[in-house]
Structure 1
Amino acid sequence: MKTEKKGPSGRPRGFDTGEALERAMLVFWEHGYEGASLGRLTSAMGISATSMYAAFGNKEELFRKALERYAEGPSAYLDEALEEPTALGVATAILSGAVRTTTAPSRPQGCMGIQGALAAGESAQRARELLIGWRNCGYERVRERFERAVEEGDLAPGTDAALLARFVTTLAHGIAVQAASGVCGDELQAMVEAALRRWPPL
């Protein structure tokens, strides 16, 4: 395991917390909450367990901060998608963003927010709850955007914005699962185009 270099006083030198958190995010993304052992995390972060606890709190808190970083970084396509001028543009940007993020060759395949703690045990209950909340928040934001599209006349009166949001977010989650199983980006993008060929599909 990597250890921190010591300064003249024998105390650990400072480290880049942003870089350390980025590395922790990648470990959680690739291995899930339970698979990200303390040794694996501190080795990837290049710091001691003592420094990790001092800087980030316990493992649950580190996971929460890593998920926030994921939302602000790799998963930031959702924020951009919600700014699209039409509901179809929103759906297209969300699903295409999911394909890009979950199949990028330089990063773990799949989605940290989908697979992070789906099959974890009782010790990961808090992490599961955190991810459920994260996914529900994403759904609610899409639903609100589609409700606005109905109000603005972009979607037909009577369109079930909640069901349409569930359709899009479920597709995005499915893309993540397929990507983690090795399905390539081109195939997933073709699926997105087929799914949106008739819009709205409800």
Structure 2
Amino acid sequence: MLELKSLIWIVLMEKEFIGLLGVVVGFVLNLVYGAWGKRNQRKQEQYYLAVVVTMQLDRFFDEAVFLCGDNGTPDQEGYYISTIPYPKFELPTKDVDWRSLPQDLMRDILWLPECIRSAQELIASASEYAASPPYFEEYFETRQYEFAKLALSVNKMSMRLRKVANLPMRKISDEYYDPITGLIKIVSKVDKVRDERHLNRSILLKEKRAT
């Protein structure tokens, strides 16, 4: 009789254990499935965001490169004016989740409009306080310099975004045309000109103080 009760107790315990094990397995499977579903959704959102934003970044890059070739065109009075408008960059606001991107990349892209605004303010300042007619060299110099830097930065953002979302890389250079090298040369040239200009001003200032 005792052996029968013990056997029944063992059977009941096995059933309870199996039932508990089933609950645990089900709970773990739900967690795994939920995590996989969220990860898959995140990847889809990330891919869509990357497609939309890289188009904007690449368009901005192309327009900035075009702008950097603008040295001005003389108007009827012989004053040089810019003929190429500022590149535009519009952040998508609908149906995108910026949190699907790595934080540093998200920050750089979202901060880009502010960088563009700051560049335009520097250009406006050069136009008003530094440039002189008829060529307005300081204005065009600042314009090309600021947007060359922005174009280089934007190209890096596009490459990082493509890598994150596994998008194919964009080929922008060949044996005949290399805009990246051209942009780097613009930045380097302006840096050199400004250093020389600063040095000359320092020399003139010292000479004035000495007299």
- Please report the TM-score for the alignment, with normalisation by the length of structure 1: 0.26
The structure number with the bigger radius of gyration is: 2
More helix by share: 2
